[in-house]
Structure formats: structure tokens, C-alpha cells
Amino acid sequence: MATDVAVPALGESITEGTLAQWLKKPGEAVAADEPIATLETDKVSVDVPSPVAGVLSETLANEGDTVAVGALIARIDEKATAGATPAQAAAAATTNPAGAGENPQLRGSEHAPEPTANGDEDAITTLSPAVRRAVLEHHVDPSKIRGTGKDGRLTKDDVLAAAEAAKAGGPVHEPEARAPAPTAPPPQSAPQPAAKVQTGERREERVKMTRLRQTVAKRLKEAQNTAAMLTTFNDVDMSAVIEARAKYKDLFEKKHGIRLGFMGFFVKAVALAAKDVPAVNGSIEGDEIVYHDYLDVSVAVSAPKGLVVPVIRNADRMSFAEIEKTIADFGKRAKEGSLTVEDMTGGTFTISNGGVFGSLLSTPIINPPQSAVLGMHRIEERPVVKNGQIVAKPMMYLALSYDHRLIDGREAVTFLVRIKEAIEDPTRLLIDL
């Protein structure tokens, strides 16, 4: 009996995605709910699970194809046995009436790569989001690494071990001769064979933009074209927050099981300031202004394929511990590539922390339809005047970019000053002042 695999619902307003990678090949066994492919949408990567246990009998779309929600992309034969060739598995599926109803629009692209006799080397070409990130970060060639995971697949530890071996000057083990991996091209900085390198040679490489990067580019440019964007700056003395963290970090972690970070203070400060300046938490829809009585904070997070902004829902009602746990979970899942469309949807205000990368000052771009974004930066000791004395203090520049169509300069400055006051005197966060 053959079961069709269709593109699942990808989230509100998302009607299609790009088939980024096949995680299984025809003839391979799959378990129920086991991912067989990865789809890229405008916001996140989504795994497509197998609805049943069996053998992947055929694929109906190629990597790189754009597929609509509900389109058939594969078939699972519940009666076939693992190890069958793609042709045998496909033949077994098409002899069953359940194979009827194939998608004619995708049928023409059915050209799955033939597996080799060595199952371990087949599996090396299957990279999970976490492994892809490790490959890009450490600039290693996945085709030269022997996988130790299930069915010979590469694991993150395999990549890290290969990177360490390369640093130590260890030998490079070339794999047995096989066709180039179609799903995981080597990173841009992967070394080329020495014999091909010529002195003074100049090279270029063209890589198609991912769907996520295309969407980010489009939305950021749209924000500049639509909003009357302006940025105002201030600086904040981080001494009080640093002292509070140093004093309570051990007790906080012992009680809540999470570290007390800086972001929790800023989220709480934004919630406090938004009560005084509600326009900063609003948006423009047509000729109307929408004011929100809740605060959903989009937190900019770096992911393997670009910047993503998961949303902390009802941040104004959350405790420090709840905020820190949510942020830590987002960071972990962003690295793994497991954030969902629902995690990214919505948001009424954005906080971007360029300080983690060493940024001293920047002008962040708002995330439509939001009307403002707060930019945090690195903390460094600078000379400031306190009570007539020049002293060194840990200072941070803050930047608020905002849509001047909705937010006046006075409101923007007031909002930023309220944040400064709350960070420099965290007691204000407790007494709602």
C-alpha cells in the first residue's frame, strides 16, 4: 500500500515553499513521523515527516523546486522492504491503486539521485540543520567526513572532530570515488586543490539566495521605502544591572535553572516605557493606527541562513525567569534550525542586540508592520562625569529607530529615556515607576 506525502500547512499567509533537501532517498526505510525532507519558507525551515512507516518509494520533486501547500512530493510504500532499489520501490507503489492521483505538475521533476552500494556514504549527503550550521561555521567539506550517526549520517560531533583534526594539521581522508553530493555543497571558503591554484588567480562564486535571505532583503527594503524612518540615540550606565546580576546570578540559576542575562532587563524596561509611550508599540494599517494593549517582543537571533526574529508573547506579563527561559530556548532552536513559523509570526516591537557581535553603534531597521526597534550594543568602560568627577563606567549605546509617521521625536526620546532610567535604576522595574 502506498501513502502520498504532501506539503504540510506552513503557517498563516504562507502558500508555498522551496524543497531544500531530501533527508531520505528512494529505497530507504522510514519510520512514522520521521523527517524525509526539509522545506524552506519565507521565515523558517520546516521538516516534512513521513505519515507512515515503510520505504520511500519515489520522490515527486527535486531539491530547489518550489512546491505549494498540499502538493504531493513523495510516496511511502508500507509493504516494501528497505534496501530495494528506487525502481523496485516505485514499481511496488504504482501497482497499488492508492498510487493514483499523482501530481502532474511535479511528476516531470522526478529524478532522485541513485544511491550507491555503500549505504554509509549515501547517508553522508544528508545534513540536518545543526550539522549544516557546523559545516558552515568550521569551513569543512562534508564529503570528506565519515559519518558515525544512524545509517552512517553525519553528526555535529563528526564535523567538530574533523574541524579539530584540520586545526591540528591531521591528514585529510579522501572518500571513495562517488558522485558529488547534490544536497550539501561545500561552504564558500572550502579549500580548493592546490594543483588548481595559480598565483594571482581571482575567483568568483555565485550562490543562489535562500528563500529566507530573499524575504529578509525584500522586507528590509520595503521598510526603508515605506516608513519615514529616523533613529535617536542615548547611552546607559550598565553598572546597576551588572551589580544585580553578579549579586543574584547564582541564586537565580539555582531557583530557575537558567542564567540571568541582560535581555531580561531590557525587555522589562521596554514594557515599562511602552506604558508611557504606547505609540512605540503600535502600528499603521491603512489610514488607521493600531494600539496594542499587549507587548509581543521580536528578538533578533542569528541563524545559519540569516537573521530570524522569534516572538516573546505577552512579554509585559512575564517574569525575568520566563523571559530568560524563552530567549534561551529561541537561541538554541535557531542554531538547530528548529524554529517554527508560529514562533516567528506577529510581534509588536523588536529588540536587536548587535553587542554580542561587538557592535559599538548602529541604526537598526524596523520590522514591518512594527513601528520601532531598539538596538543594543556592546558594553565598554568609558570616562564619564559623575558628581563632578571623571570616572570609568561600563556604558552601552542605545539606538531607537522608529517610523516618524506614527511616532514623534518627543515620544521617541521619552521612550528611550524611560529605558535608560529603568536600566540605571532597576528598582523602577519592581515598583512600576
Distance CA 99, CA 82 (A): 19
Q: In this structure, are strands 372-376 and 349-353 parallel, antiparallel, or unpaired?
A: parallel
Q: Locate cell 553525519: which residue?
A: 154
| Strands across the sheet containing 45-49 | 45-49, 35-40, 16-22, 66-68
Burial of 137 (0-12, 13-18, 19+ CB in 10 A): middle
Q: Locate cell 558628581: which residue?
A: 387
Contact 423, 397 (CB under 8 A): no
Query: Which residues are catalytically annotated?
Result: 404, 408
Dihedral sign computed on CA atoms, order 433, 378, 233, 226: negative
> In sequence order, which residues have a C-beta less than 8 Å from that of residue 130 and are 6 or more positions away?
156, 335, 336, 337
3-state DSSP of 368-433: CCECEEEEECCCEEEEEEECCEEEEEEEEEEEEEEECCCCCHHHHHHHHHHHHHHHHCCHHHHHCC
Q: Which three cell numbers stand for residue 232?
A: 535617536
Residue 108 CA, chain-centre distance (Å), reads 32
Query: Which phi-psi region, left, alpha or beta, contains residue 83 (left: φ > 0; alpha: ψ -120 to 50)?
Result: left
- For the residues of 161-181, what is the DSSP string, one character each? HHHHHHHTTPPP-PPPS-PPP
Distance CA 216, CA 82 (A): 41
3-class secondary structure, 189: coil
